[in-house]
Structure 1
Amino acid sequence: MLLEVIACTPEEAAAAERGGADRIEWIADPLSGGVTPDLSRAAEMRRAVKLPIRVMVRPRGGGFVYSEDEREEMRRDIRRIAAAGGLDVVTGVLTPEGTVDESALAGLLNAGPGLAFTFHRAFDEAVDLPRALETLSVYPQVTDVLTSGGAPGAPEGAAALAELLRRSAGRPPRILAGAGLTERNLRPFLDAAGADRIHIGSAARFGGDPLAPVDPERVRALRRIMEERAAGR
């Protein structure tokens, strides 16, 4: 079981940890789906929590096909993350044809040797999700794939996520289900998809507002649902 919570600041990361999160995804600009945060705060973020932190590396909102200048910016940011220590990476790159951009991905992985990577929801814009998962499986550094099963939200993609989970069978990269999950729909989603690794954004925040601070009580409620299901209750 894993509960990953988005945080934009050290204070939000600490609140997520108090609520029982297992891992932090550090981003900026949640309304765009997340972009690279201010990496000058890396040491501050690392001091704020004992949890693992994965840092979004995405130079802009919009699509996931990047120019060479953008790819170089991403590689530079990953080198900064590696130098900071104690952090890992969340990123994703596609070709114009909607496949995993293996050349660009290899460059990003090489910029952070030894770091673990989550391939983020760029995955959901791939034209063939099982093929994309198979492609990513050859890269040991890619430990996670954040996905809603190709749907706008994970609840709508539950059947596709169940199939991806079947295909991965617990082998890397592991499926991390996210997008559109709330305290109300989490339990039926877990039952339908068979997922036990969950990524939470707005549902962990006061009022479910993506721009509000993280509410540790909301995180605690989501974790309780996951624990009850794991215990068969």
Structure 2
Amino acid sequence: MLLEIIACTPEEAAAAEAGGADRIEWIADPGVGGVTPDLSRAAEMRRAVKVPIRVMVRPRGGGFVYSEDEREQMRRDIRRILAAGGLDVVTGVLTPQGTVDESALAGLLNAGPGLAFTFHRAFDEAVDLRRALDTLSVYPQVTDVLTSGGAPGAPEGAAVLAELLRRSAGRPPRILAGAGLTADNLRPFLDATGADRIHIGSAARFGGDPSAPIDPERVRTIRRILEASAGQV
């Protein structure tokens, strides 16, 4: 079981690790779903935790169809992440037709040779999730796909997520289930889908408030649910 927690600061990352996070997704501006954070803090973030960190590369909120200027900014940011060392990437790009933008994606991957990539919830806006997963499977650097199964939240997308998990079994990218998961709905979700990689945002924070700091005890509760589920497999 992998537990990834969203963090915006080194302090939040440390709190998430203290609660049992296996990996951090470092973002800014969670209110718009996350954008590229202040990369000048990369060394500080890396010192804050021992677990892996994946850095959001997204120049703005809104959709996932980008201009060439925006794509160049994303490539520059990935080169900075590569130079910083010890970090990987979270990003996603679509065509106006709602397919994975393979040309743009190849440029991003080439900007960070050797880095691991998560294709984020841009995936959920693709017109055909199964086709999108098959497309991403040809890129070895894309190790994870963060998805709610195309639904507003992962619990509502459980049936599609279960199908995507079956489709991806034994080959990358791995499905990272996220959006709307909490300590209350996690166990039935795991039972319904068989998911073994979980992404948590607001549920890791005091009171479940997206603007509140990370509560290590909430992370521990989620960690215990994952371990209990894994123990029954």
Counterpart of 2:121, as a letter, is: R
- The residue number in structure 1 matching 2:179 is 179
- The residue number in structure 1 matching 2:35 is 35
How far apart are residue 158 of structure 1 and its match? Answer: 0.2
Equivalent residues in 2 for 1:181-196, closer than 5 Å: 181-196=181-196
Q: Which runs of 5+ in 1 are unaligned?
A: none
**Deviations for 1:1-28, whole angstroms, at most 9, x for unmatched residues?**
1000000000000000000000000000
Quick one: distance in 1 between partners of 2:170 and 2:211?
Answer: 34
- The residue number in structure 1 matching 2:160 is 160
Quick one: distance in 2 between partners of 1:196 and 1:173?
Answer: 13
Counterpart of 1:106, as a letter, is: A
- The residue number in structure 2 matching 1:123 is 123
Quick one: distance in 1 between partners of 2:157 and 2:26?
Answer: 24
- The residue number in structure 2 matching 1:132 is 132
Quick one: distance in 2 between partners of 1:227 and 1:32?
Answer: 31
Q: Which runs of 5+ in 2 are unaligned?
A: none
How far apart are residue 194 of structure 1 and its match? Answer: 1.0
How far apart are residue 231 of structure 1 and its match? Answer: 0.5
Cα RMSD after superposing both structures:
0.7
Quick one: distance in 1 between partners of 2:47 and 2:12?
Answer: 13
- The residue number in structure 2 matching 1:143 is 143
Counterpart of 2:205, as a letter, is: R
166-175 vs 19-28, greater mean Cα deviation:
166-175
Quick one: distance in 2 between partners of 1:155 and 1:171?
Answer: 24
How far apart are residue 170 of structure 1 and its match? Answer: 3.4
Quick one: distance in 2 between partners of 1:158 and 1:98?
Answer: 22
Quick one: distance in 1 between partners of 2:170 and 2:85?
Answer: 28
TM-score in terms of structure 2 length:
0.99
* Alignment: residue pair count: 233
- The residue number in structure 2 matching 1:215 is 215
Equivalent residues in 2 for 1:102-113, closer than 5 Å: 102-113=102-113
Quick one: distance in 2 between partners of 1:35 and 1:208?
Answer: 21
Quick one: distance in 2 between partners of 1:159 and 1:187?
Answer: 15
Counterpart of 2:79, as a letter, is: R
Counterpart of 1:202, as a letter, is: S
Quick one: distance in 2 between partners of 1:193 and 1:31?
Answer: 28
Quick one: distance in 2 between partners of 1:232 and 1:107?
Answer: 42
- The residue number in structure 1 matching 2:197 is 197
How far apart are residue 171 of structure 1 and its match? Answer: 1.4
SS in structure 2 of the partner of residue 124 of structure 1: helix
**Deviations for 1:153-191, whole angstroms, at most 9, x for unmatched residues?**
000000000000000013100000000000100000001
39-48 vs 164-173, greater mean Cα deviation:
164-173
